[in-house]
Copies of this chain bind each other. A is one copy, B any other.
Amino acid sequence: VRALWLQDGALRGVSDLPAPDPAPGEALVRVLLCGICRTDLELAKGYAGFTGVPGHELVGQVVAAPSSPDWEGRRVVAEINVSCGSCRDCSAGRRPHCAQRAVLGIRGRPGAFAEYVAVPVANLHVVPDGLADDVAVFTEPAAAALEVQEQVPIGPGERVLVIGDGKLGQLLARTLALTGCELRVGGRHPDKLALLARRGIATSPPDALPERWADVAVECTGNPEGVALALRVLRPRGTLVLKSTYPGLAPVSLSAIVVDEITLVGSRCGPFPRALGLLASRRLDVSDLVSAVHPLAEGERAFAAAASPGQLKVLVRVAGA
C-alpha cells in the first residue's frame, strides 16, 4: 500500500509498504481523508522520535473486521490511543494514559497517511450519514478542543481567553463559544481573527489583552511566549490550560504561578461522541477551516503547506468515499 514515511526526524516521501495486518479485535480501514496537525509537523522535525507512517486525524471506511463483521462497510473516525486495557491506568479509567499504549501515527503504530490502516474496533466511531468527510475529519481535533470543557468547568459569564488563532485556536474558540462564556481570542493574524469575528467572537492582537482579566486561558500556539502572555492576562487563582505540543524545555516563571496561585492544566485527547454530535448538528461549523487538500502522492507538499504561515487545516485526500 502507498504510505507516507517519516524517519530520523524527516519525511521520506510516499512509498510502497506491506499492507497492514489487523490483529484480533482490529479492523482494516481504507483511509479517505486525513488532516495534518501541529503534532505531525513537530514529528517531522524529530519530536518524540517517531519512525513510521504519521497521520492520526482520519476518516475512513472499514473494509474488514473479522471479529466484528457488523463494522464492515461503515464510514468511521478513530480514537488514536491503543491501550493495554489491564494496567493501573487502564483500570482506573485512564486508558488514553496507558504507559504501554501505542498512538496511531505518533508512537509505536502506523498512522493514516496511507491507503490502509489497522485500528482496534474499540477505537472506532461511526460517522453519521449526513456528515461529509471533510467535516468528519475534524472529529479528533474537535474532541481535543472539547477535552478542555471536560477538565475545567466553564459556563456562562466566565471570562475565557484563547491564545492563538490557528487551526487549534479556531476549534477551541468555536467550542468554547457554545458554553455562553465571555470569550476573547488573542492572535496575530487579522484574516484568521476575522473568521472568528464573523461568528460574533471578540478578538484582539495579543498585546491589547487586558491584564488580570481572564478566569481561564487556553494556550493554543505551542509557543512559550503564549504561556507568559496567559500568565499576564489571567486573574489570580485563574486556570491556564495548555493545549498544544511544545518541543523541548520551555522557560516558565514558576514564581508567577505560585504567587498568583494559578492552576495549570495539561490537556490532550478528548471525547469523540461529543465532537461528532456537535459537528453533525452543525453547532460546530468548520467549513471555513480547510486551507488546502492534497492527494496522498503529494504528502510532503501537504506538510510544507501546513507549515507555511497563514494556513489553517491542510488535508490529505487518500481515496474517494
A residues neighboring B (CB under 8 Å)? 47, 88-89, 94, 97, 99, 151, 212, 224, 227, 235-237, 242-268
Contact = CB atoms under 8 A, between A and B. Distances in A.
Contacts of A235: 88-89, 94, 97
Contact of A252 (B236, B250, B262): B250
Question: Which secondary structure dominates chain A's binding surface?
Answer: mixed
A271 B199 CA distance: 45
Given A94-B237, A237-B94, A259 B266 contact: yes
Give the residue among A99, A242, A251, A264 with the most B Cβ atoms within 10 A.
A264
B258 A89 contact: no
A47 to B, nearest CB: 8
A252 B249 contact: yes
A41 to B, nearest CB: 14
Contacts of A258: 242-246, 266-268
Given A89-B236, A97-B237, A254-B250, A261 B212 contact: no
A264 B263 contact: yes
Contact of A250 (B212, B236, B251, B263): B251
Contacts of A246: 253-255, 258
Contacts of A247: 255
Contacts of A237: 94, 97
A80 to B, nearest CB: 12
Nearest to A263: B265
Give the residue among A88, A99, A250 with the most B Cβ atoms within 10 A.
A250
Contact of A236 (B97, B242, B243, B255): B97
A74 to B, nearest CB: 30
6 contacts: A89-B212, A246-B253, A247-B255, A251-B252, A252-B252, A258-B267
Nearest to A103: B259
A33 to B, nearest CB: 26
B260 A263 contact: no
A249 B228 CA distance: 10
Given A97-B237, A99-B212, A236-B89, A261 B255 contact: no
Contacts of A253: 246, 248-250
A249 B251 contact: yes
Contacts of A264: 257, 263-266
Given A94-B236, A261-B267, 12 more contacts: A47-B255, A89-B235, A94-B235, A97-B236, A243-B258, A249-B252, A251-B252, A258-B266, A258-B267, A261-B268, A262-B265, A263-B265
Contacts of A260: 97, 266
